[in-house]
Chain A
Amino acid sequence: AQSVTQLDSHVSVSEGTPVLLRCNYSSSYSPSLFWYVQHPNKGLQLLLKYTSAATLVKGINGFEAEFKKSETSFHLTKPSAHMSDAAEYFCVVSPLWGYQKVTFGTGTKLQVIP
Protein backbone atom coordinates (compact mmCIF):
# COMPACT_ATOMS: atom_id res chain seq x y z
CA ALA A 1 0.00 0.00 0.00
CA GLN A 2 1.14 3.52 -0.62
CA SER A 3 -0.08 7.03 0.00
CA VAL A 4 1.19 10.56 -0.26
CA THR A 5 0.19 13.66 1.67
CA GLN A 6 0.83 17.16 0.47
CA LEU A 7 0.64 19.23 3.58
CA ASP A 8 -0.38 22.52 1.97
CA SER A 9 -3.13 22.93 -0.58
CA HIS A 10 -2.05 26.48 -1.32
CA VAL A 11 1.30 28.26 -0.95
CA SER A 12 1.88 31.90 -1.69
CA VAL A 13 5.36 33.43 -2.04
CA SER A 14 6.80 36.66 -3.32
CA GLU A 15 8.85 36.63 -6.49
CA GLY A 16 12.50 36.08 -5.68
CA THR A 17 11.87 34.37 -2.33
CA PRO A 18 12.36 30.67 -1.59
CA VAL A 19 9.73 28.05 -2.31
CA LEU A 20 8.97 25.07 -0.07
CA LEU A 21 6.28 22.57 -1.01
CA ARG A 22 5.89 19.77 1.50
CA CYS A 23 5.22 16.11 0.80
CA ASN A 24 5.11 13.11 3.11
CA TYR A 25 4.70 9.58 1.87
CA SER A 26 3.87 6.12 3.08
CA SER A 27 4.83 2.95 1.24
CA SER A 28 5.03 -0.74 1.97
CA TYR A 29 7.70 -1.05 -0.69
CA SER A 30 10.88 0.78 -1.54
CA PRO A 31 9.40 3.87 -3.14
CA SER A 32 10.19 6.00 -6.08
CA LEU A 33 9.01 9.57 -5.66
CA PHE A 34 8.28 12.26 -8.20
CA TRP A 35 7.23 15.87 -8.40
CA TYR A 36 5.11 16.96 -11.33
CA VAL A 37 3.95 20.42 -12.28
CA GLN A 38 0.74 21.25 -14.08
CA HIS A 39 0.13 24.68 -15.53
CA PRO A 40 -3.48 25.74 -16.09
CA ASN A 41 -5.21 23.64 -18.72
CA LYS A 42 -1.99 21.77 -19.49
CA GLY A 43 -0.69 18.27 -19.01
CA LEU A 44 1.81 17.02 -16.46
CA GLN A 45 5.48 17.90 -16.63
CA LEU A 46 8.05 15.95 -14.65
CA LEU A 47 10.17 18.19 -12.42
CA LEU A 48 12.33 15.57 -10.77
CA LYS A 49 12.41 12.02 -9.52
CA TYR A 50 13.97 9.96 -6.75
CA THR A 51 14.76 6.35 -7.58
CA SER A 52 16.98 5.12 -4.71
CA ALA A 53 20.19 6.80 -5.87
CA ALA A 54 21.22 10.18 -4.45
CA THR A 55 18.87 11.47 -1.77
CA LEU A 56 19.18 15.06 -2.97
CA VAL A 57 17.61 15.25 -6.37
CA LYS A 58 17.98 18.17 -8.73
CA GLY A 59 15.33 18.81 -11.33
CA ILE A 60 14.46 21.27 -14.01
CA ASN A 61 13.97 25.01 -13.58
CA GLY A 62 16.07 25.18 -10.42
CA PHE A 63 13.90 22.86 -8.33
CA GLU A 64 15.32 20.22 -6.04
CA ALA A 65 14.00 17.79 -3.46
CA GLU A 66 15.53 15.75 -0.68
CA PHE A 67 14.44 12.23 0.15
CA LYS A 68 14.46 11.73 3.93
CA LYS A 69 13.59 8.19 4.81
CA SER A 70 13.57 8.79 8.58
CA GLU A 71 11.00 11.54 8.13
CA THR A 72 9.22 9.89 5.18
CA SER A 73 9.39 13.21 3.40
CA PHE A 74 10.22 14.47 -0.06
CA HIS A 75 9.86 18.23 0.08
CA LEU A 76 10.30 20.34 -3.04
CA THR A 77 12.36 23.53 -2.85
CA LYS A 78 13.59 26.34 -5.04
CA PRO A 79 15.86 29.16 -3.87
CA SER A 80 14.12 31.94 -5.75
CA ALA A 81 10.57 31.89 -7.09
CA HIS A 82 9.79 33.13 -10.57
CA MET A 83 6.42 34.25 -11.83
CA SER A 84 6.41 31.35 -14.28
CA ASP A 85 6.51 28.92 -11.35
CA ALA A 86 2.88 29.66 -10.52
CA ALA A 87 1.13 26.34 -11.11
CA GLU A 88 -0.20 23.21 -9.43
CA TYR A 89 2.39 20.79 -8.09
CA PHE A 90 1.81 17.11 -7.45
CA CYS A 91 3.89 14.76 -5.34
CA VAL A 92 3.67 11.18 -6.61
CA VAL A 93 4.73 7.87 -5.08
CA SER A 94 5.02 4.47 -6.64
CA PRO A 95 6.78 1.20 -5.90
CA LEU A 96 10.33 1.24 -7.22
CA TRP A 97 9.78 -1.97 -9.16
CA GLY A 98 6.83 -3.65 -10.77
CA TYR A 99 3.89 -2.38 -12.70
CA GLN A 100 1.53 -1.15 -10.03
CA LYS A 101 -0.19 2.20 -10.19
CA VAL A 102 1.31 5.47 -9.09
CA THR A 103 -0.48 7.49 -6.41
CA PHE A 104 -0.88 11.24 -6.59
CA GLY A 105 -1.01 13.70 -3.75
CA THR A 106 -3.86 16.17 -3.63
CA GLY A 107 -1.74 18.91 -5.11
CA THR A 108 -0.34 22.25 -3.94
CA LYS A 109 -1.21 25.39 -5.79
CA LEU A 110 1.73 27.78 -5.86
CA GLN A 111 0.97 31.45 -6.18
CA VAL A 112 3.83 33.85 -6.90
CA ILE A 113 3.24 37.46 -6.00
CA PRO A 114 5.09 40.10 -8.01
Chain B
Amino acid sequence: GAGVSQSPSNKVTEKGKDVELRCDPISGHTALYWYRQSLGQGLEFLIYFQGNSAPDKSGLPSDRFSAERTGGSVSTLTIQRTQQEDSAVYLCASSPLDISNYGYTFGSGTRLTVV
Protein backbone atom coordinates (compact mmCIF):
# COMPACT_ATOMS: atom_id res chain seq x y z
CA GLY B 1 0.00 0.00 0.00
CA ALA B 2 0.89 3.64 -0.12
CA GLY B 3 1.49 3.96 3.58
CA VAL B 4 1.64 2.05 6.85
CA SER B 5 -1.84 0.93 7.79
CA GLN B 6 -2.91 0.20 11.36
CA SER B 7 -6.16 -1.19 12.68
CA PRO B 8 -8.23 -0.58 14.61
CA SER B 9 -7.71 3.17 14.93
CA ASN B 10 -9.37 3.14 18.33
CA LYS B 11 -9.97 0.31 20.78
CA VAL B 12 -11.72 0.42 24.13
CA THR B 13 -11.45 -2.75 26.16
CA GLU B 14 -12.21 -3.92 29.64
CA LYS B 15 -9.41 -4.62 32.05
CA GLY B 16 -8.36 -8.25 31.85
CA LYS B 17 -9.36 -8.75 28.21
CA ASP B 18 -6.91 -9.58 25.43
CA VAL B 19 -6.46 -7.25 22.45
CA GLU B 20 -4.83 -7.55 19.05
CA LEU B 21 -3.44 -4.63 17.12
CA ARG B 22 -2.59 -4.95 13.46
CA CYS B 23 0.02 -3.28 11.29
CA ASP B 24 0.36 -3.54 7.52
CA PRO B 25 3.71 -2.02 6.46
CA ILE B 26 4.64 -0.41 3.19
CA SER B 27 5.12 -3.02 0.52
CA GLY B 28 8.79 -3.89 0.15
CA HIS B 29 9.82 -2.55 3.53
CA THR B 30 11.70 -5.28 5.34
CA ALA B 31 11.90 -3.61 8.74
CA LEU B 32 8.90 -3.15 11.01
CA TYR B 33 8.79 -1.46 14.41
CA TRP B 34 6.28 -1.05 17.20
CA TYR B 35 6.41 1.95 19.53
CA ARG B 36 4.15 3.04 22.36
CA GLN B 37 3.23 6.61 23.22
CA SER B 38 1.77 7.11 26.65
CA LEU B 39 0.18 10.36 27.78
CA GLY B 40 2.86 12.93 28.52
CA GLN B 41 5.64 10.52 27.62
CA GLY B 42 7.92 10.19 24.66
CA LEU B 43 7.74 7.31 22.24
CA GLU B 44 8.90 4.04 23.74
CA PHE B 45 10.43 1.29 21.59
CA LEU B 46 8.66 -2.06 21.89
CA ILE B 47 9.83 -4.49 19.21
CA TYR B 48 11.68 -4.66 15.88
CA PHE B 49 11.37 -7.12 13.01
CA GLN B 50 13.87 -7.32 10.14
CA GLY B 51 13.30 -9.82 7.39
CA ASN B 52 13.70 -13.38 8.62
CA SER B 53 15.99 -12.44 11.50
CA ALA B 54 15.00 -13.03 15.11
CA PRO B 55 13.04 -10.00 16.33
CA ASP B 56 14.39 -7.63 18.97
CA LYS B 57 11.79 -7.89 21.72
CA SER B 58 13.83 -6.03 24.30
CA GLY B 59 11.33 -3.19 24.61
CA LEU B 60 8.27 -5.26 25.46
CA PRO B 61 7.27 -4.14 28.97
CA SER B 62 6.02 -7.48 30.26
CA ASP B 63 5.30 -11.05 29.20
CA ARG B 64 1.70 -10.02 28.59
CA PHE B 65 2.94 -8.39 25.39
CA SER B 66 3.82 -10.38 22.31
CA ALA B 67 4.13 -9.70 18.61
CA GLU B 68 4.50 -11.66 15.45
CA ARG B 69 5.06 -10.91 11.82
CA THR B 70 3.71 -13.32 9.27
CA GLY B 71 5.28 -13.78 5.87
CA GLY B 72 7.55 -10.81 6.39
CA SER B 73 4.61 -8.45 6.03
CA VAL B 74 1.68 -7.92 8.39
CA SER B 75 2.41 -7.75 12.11
CA THR B 76 0.14 -8.29 15.09
CA LEU B 77 0.82 -6.93 18.57
CA THR B 78 -1.09 -8.85 21.23
CA ILE B 79 -1.65 -7.67 24.78
CA GLN B 80 -3.03 -10.27 27.15
CA ARG B 81 -4.96 -9.52 30.33
CA THR B 82 -4.89 -5.79 29.66
CA GLN B 83 -4.26 -3.37 32.50
CA GLN B 84 -5.13 0.31 32.76
CA GLU B 85 -1.46 1.26 32.42
CA ASP B 86 -1.53 -0.30 28.94
CA SER B 87 -3.67 2.60 27.76
CA ALA B 88 -1.63 4.43 25.14
CA VAL B 89 -1.25 5.02 21.44
CA TYR B 90 0.50 2.12 19.76
CA LEU B 91 2.41 3.18 16.67
CA CYS B 92 3.81 0.97 13.95
CA ALA B 93 6.51 2.03 11.50
CA SER B 94 8.36 0.44 8.61
CA SER B 95 11.52 1.18 6.67
CA PRO B 96 13.56 -0.28 3.84
CA LEU B 97 16.56 -2.51 4.50
CA ASP B 98 18.96 0.39 3.96
CA ILE B 99 18.10 2.20 7.16
CA SER B 100 21.09 4.49 6.89
CA ASN B 101 19.55 6.52 4.11
CA TYR B 102 15.89 6.24 4.90
CA GLY B 103 13.87 7.25 7.88
CA TYR B 104 10.87 5.59 9.38
CA THR B 105 7.35 5.84 7.97
CA PHE B 106 4.76 5.66 10.71
CA GLY B 107 1.16 4.59 10.64
CA SER B 108 -1.66 6.57 12.23
CA GLY B 109 -1.59 4.46 15.36
CA THR B 110 -4.10 2.58 17.48
CA ARG B 111 -5.41 4.41 20.52
CA LEU B 112 -6.01 1.80 23.21
CA THR B 113 -8.10 2.62 26.24
CA VAL B 114 -8.43 0.07 29.03
CA VAL B 115 -11.39 0.71 31.32
Q: A and B: partners?
A: no
Chain A residues with a Cβ under 8 A of chain B: none
Task: Give the A-binding residues of B (Cβ under 8 A).
Answer: none
